Amino acid sequence: MRRRVTSGSNLEPEIGFSRAVRRGNLIAISGTASIWEGARTVGVGDVYSQTKHCLAIVKAALIEVDSCFEDVIRTRVMLTNVTTWREAARAHGEAFGDIRPACTFVEVSRFIHPECLVEIEVDAVTAE
């Protein structure tokens, strides 16, 4: 069975994506930016705040497919300025400190929303 989580973004149908997809015990969460209702960027100019907000969106998507942070096995943190990685790492560590999934930080040139400084992708596996 395949379950999808929507973000409510008007870009979902245009791009053809879902916030999250669960198939059996596998869960994939799309690149998640600090965007909220009305395409408003939360935490403009603040990598730590944006990362916290991204992780809150990820957590909500996981809950919607009957999962949680403890099921996360991999995260990918994409930053527009990799020198700010410690700010993102602090928020990531607060969420995953004891779980310690595989994690990669990479620099990208920009995101669709120019105020976004960070996006996070997540893979999870449940006991099913």
Note the Cα 34 to chain centre separation in Å: 9
Parse the chain into domains and list their residue ranges.
2-125
The predicted-structure confidence for 76-88, as pLDDT tens digits, reads as follows 999 999 999 999 9
The predicted-structure confidence for 25-68, as pLDDT tens digits, reads as follows 999 999 988 876 666 777 788 999 999 999 999 999 999 999 99
Give the tokens for residue 91.
Answer: 């928020």
**Of 32-36, 56-60, 71-75, 103-107, where does mean pLDDT reach its minimum?**
32-36
CB 19 within 8 A of CB 6: yes
State the pTM of this model: 0.92
Closest CA to 85 of 43, 47, 49: 47
Residue 51, CA distances (Å) to 31, 61, 66, 83, 120 in order: 12, 15, 22, 15, 8
Give the tokens for residue 69.
Answer: 């942070």
| The pLDDT of residue 128 is above 80 | no
Give the tokens for residue 46.
Answer: 């603040």
Instruction: Write out the CATH class of domain 2-125.
Output: alpha beta
